[in-house]
Amino acid sequence: MKKLLYLIIIVTLALSGCSTPVGNPSIAPEDTMVKPGDAAVKTSITHEDNIYFILIDRFYDAVENLPDVDKNDPKAYQGGDIRGIIEKLDYIRDLGMTAIWISPVMDNAPGGYHGYWIHDFYAVDEHFGTIGDFKELVEKAHALGMKVILDYVFNHTGPGMAWLDDPAKQDWFHEKKAITNWNDKDQLINGWIYGLPDLNQENPLVRDYLVENALWWIEETGIDGFRIDTARHVPDEFLLHFIDEVKSDFPEFYLLGEVWHNNARILKLYQNLGFDGVTNYSLYNGIIETFGPYGDMRDFAKYLRDESLFTDASLNSIFIDNHDNPRFYSSERNYGKEYTGQALAFLFTYPAAATLYYGTEALLEGEYDPVNRTFMPWASDGELVPLIKELALIKSLYVQDFEVIAYGAKYIAYKTEKDGRGMLVAMNSGETASNVEIPFFGKLRDYRTGETIEAAGTLSLVMGPVSTRFFIIE
């Protein structure tokens, strides 16, 4: 039966190479109700988590650097290290984060500051520290109540990998071919992404090597999850096998697939393959389209409706930016700070694993690699630190079930509830002040001012430009 299900999934995936636009003219608010599922096995990361994503080399420089570190070259190593993260764990926890996701620590090809060009799958890169440092990081994070997700790369190796010259390992790689059509699933799986040597996971030796290595990292270091890089670029059979092997030994270990696809109908197939969650690029697109001057909440409601396509949307990672995409704050000039704050307000009041890219709290700017990966500024406190702390507290108290109540072109109102505590969130995403009317019966208390309001059918709210209000439902 399990085999048959896998076969259906694989066939569906094979047919789903290209994206199709999503649209549905009739949107009822009840379609956008989310209740996190109660899975039989609880994963180490759930919708209650807030994940802080760190590029090790760009975060905090605590240890003396190697000669190839050049702080003036955005494409060179800049000196961040594992010891630096250990020193900043209190900072991350105080921000309200419950987990960290760190870029790959494995030994990389020269220049691989980002960690995705692995040369030795069993060693920690000398720029970042030692395996001892990494174990200490995991131990100290756990002691502070935070989990650790390690970025894991099994699709490719770094350029110039020694295996390429090993006569015994010629069939460890796919034939060197560029990916020219990103809608061709064959190319996605077998092509050399960005020219990187593409591992041949159909070869049982490669498959077993990668599974063994992954299990080694889990056993050796005590990490809580993997963010699996370029998960769309390996054969489905390998994915199934890899996930099955990890989950058999470590059922609670969180597996997050990086699936860079905008369509929830495609993303959900990877959750069906066994990933606990995927990088939710569908909702990401909804967020970047909506929280800006040209956004339309009616479109956002469609994105929210698509969340019901997932088996369990609450285990996905949701985000407003990352190292592969423009920093959110860069996208908008007028009301840039306000829109960033509003996007974050959504991020932390929606039941999924909120993922905050380092530097967002300091309003770092930068559109594409390498300027979206600049060094974390430590000279002063990040401008959004107080907001993020407030949102993390709200999330911990009020966010579990989620239901949209009303929306129009420039506003949305939704209800969240956790353990009997209810909250109403109202947003005006327009650049002008607005009176928003929401269908509501009952008594509310403004979370920030304490002011109470009673509504008998219609709640009338005066909303400033690009503003969000939080009300405790009494």
Contacting positions for Ca ion (CB under 5 A): 61, 63, 65, 79, 81, 155, 198, 233
- Whole-number Å distance between alpha carbons of 444 and 413: 14
User: Of 78 and 429, which CB lies nearer to Ca ion in the complex structure?
Assistant: 78
Q: Residue 352 corresponds to which tokens in the numbers above?
A: 């999924």
User: Of 230 and 290, which CB lies nearer to Ca ion in the complex structure?
Assistant: 230
Please, which contacts does 370-373 make with residues 24 or more away whose CB atoms are closer than 8 Å?
A: 370/74, 370/75, 371/74, 372/321, 372/323, 372/325, 372/326, 372/327, 372/330, 373/55, 373/58, 373/74, 373/114, 373/323
User: Of 46 and 230, which CB lies nearer to Ca ion in the complex structure?
Assistant: 230
| C-alpha to C-alpha distances, 435 to 33, 342, 426, 459, 465, nearest whole angstrom | 25, 18, 11, 10, 11
SS3 per-residue string spanning 152-200 = ECCCECCCCCHHHHCHHHHHHECCCCCCCCCCCHHHHHHCCHHHCCEEC
User: Of 133 and 307, which CB lies nearer to Ca ion in the complex structure?
Assistant: 133
**Bridge partners, 408 (sequence order):** 411
CB of 166 to Ca ion, least distance (A): 19
| C-alpha to C-alpha distances, 181 to 186, 230, 269, 387, 396, nearest whole angstrom | 9, 16, 21, 42, 43
CB of 199 to Ca ion, least distance (A): 7
CB of 135 to Ca ion, least distance (A): 18
CB of 194 to Ca ion, least distance (A): 12
User: Of 207 and 395, which CB lies nearer to Ca ion in the complex structure?
Assistant: 207
CB of 107 to Ca ion, least distance (A): 16
- Whole-number Å distance between alpha carbons of 354 and 317: 6
- Whole-number Å distance between alpha carbons of 386 and 377: 16
User: Of 113 and 471, which CB lies nearer to Ca ion in the complex structure?
Assistant: 113
User: Of 266 and 287, which CB lies nearer to Ca ion in the complex structure?
Assistant: 266
User: Of 61 and 307, which CB lies nearer to Ca ion in the complex structure?
Assistant: 61
| Segment (H or E) for 257 | strand 254-257
CB of 158 to Ca ion, least distance (A): 14
CB of 405 to Ca ion, least distance (A): 44
User: Of 65 and 434, which CB lies nearer to Ca ion in the complex structure?
Assistant: 65
Burial of 371 (0-12, 13-18, 19+ CB in 10 A): middle
CB of 113 to Ca ion, least distance (A): 11
CB of 266 to Ca ion, least distance (A): 17
User: Of 163 and 293, which CB lies nearer to Ca ion in the complex structure?
Assistant: 163
- Whole-number Å distance between alpha carbons of 105 and 116: 9
CB of 63 to Ca ion, least distance (A): 4
User: Of 192 and 303, which CB lies nearer to Ca ion in the complex structure?
Assistant: 192
- Whole-number Å distance between alpha carbons of 237 and 13: 11
Burial of 199 (0-12, 13-18, 19+ CB in 10 A): buried
**Bridge partners, 460 (sequence order):** 437
User: Of 61 and 361, which CB lies nearer to Ca ion in the complex structure?
Assistant: 61
Place of tokens 């039989």: 40
For residue 370, is the peptide bond before it cis, meaning its omega torsion is within 30 degrees of 0? Answer: yes
Position 433: which residue type? A
Query: Would the CA dihedral through 233, 236, 242, 247 be positive or negative?
Result: positive
CB of 175 to Ca ion, least distance (A): 11
The CB density around residue 158, as the number of other CB atoms within 10 Å, is 22
Burial of 167 (0-12, 13-18, 19+ CB in 10 A): exposed
CB of 189 to Ca ion, least distance (A): 5
Position 42: which residue type? K
